[in-house]
A and B are shown apart, each in its own frame.
Chain A
């Protein structure tokens, strides 16, 4: 398995899903975001998967971007009580969709089980540390310069 293939498939899947599901347009950045690009708390969604290869996906975004995603998906105003309440659910659902597209792109028509995504709120330094051990890492910037980072961690089958 080519790590660059995994990374580019994850980036393409993320950009497509964000556009199609939430009208959020992104560009891929060459470098990961530094800690100052993040608010005090980073929302990480972790989504385990099981199949021919096992591991987990991770999506990181600000709570504000979660609110934006929820507002677009719900047809609500950003910052409204409804979008704020559903911000983490929107992040979970977006990662679920990205995982489905990326797994098909990389591994073809194989059987997978996706678990239910879990949200963790972590400080930027802890988020930065989560790059260690990732088999693929993608950094995207929205048009409003909000960072979105995605990673894949494979169990017992490191690509490096």
Chain B
């Protein structure tokens, strides 16, 4: 049985880029879901088992930060790891997100091998910061 992945980004181009990079990891995949904001993401999470979420931060309606907060409130972050993919490079904001339970981040633009490395670390190591030393 492969992994179920959820990609959350308001850019259809970026969702496709992440989908392609995920497909290139060689990891066994079952289903790849897409959502264009936090509200759609929560709907997907409510109806499907998801093993990993890739989330943008800067989105209309419900941002990635708000999505993470809601997932933390609902105890979803205890079982579903989140990797943030963002143009926002502020270390304080990323540290705050990780203190809430986000497992790793990738800066846009990213290389497919960077995504593969972070994704493998997150899925194989249930604890810890995948960007950490």
Contacts and interface: CB of A to CB of B under 8 A. Distances in A.
Q: Judge: A and B partners, yes or no.
A: yes
A21 interface: yes
A86 B13 contact: yes
Nearest to A93: B11
Interface of chain A: mostly helix, strand, loop or mixed = helix
Interface residues of A, number: 27
Interface string B65-85: 000000000000000000000
Contacts of A109: 89-92
For chain B, give the interface size range. Answer: 20 to 34
A112 B11 CA distance: 20
Contact of A92 (B11, B90, B93, B108): B11
A135 B133 CA distance: 40
Interface stretch (A25-33, A70-78, A151-159): A70-78
Contacts of B107: 100
A101 B108 CA distance: 9
Interface of A: 17, 20-21, 70, 73-75, 86, 89-90, 92-93, 96-97, 99-101, 103-104, 109-116
Interface of B: 10-14, 16-17, 20, 58-60, 86-93, 107-109, 111
The 8 A-B residue pairs with the shortest CB-CB distance, nearest first, are A100-B87, A21-B109, A20-B109, A104-B89, A93-B11, A97-B108, A89-B13, A96-B87
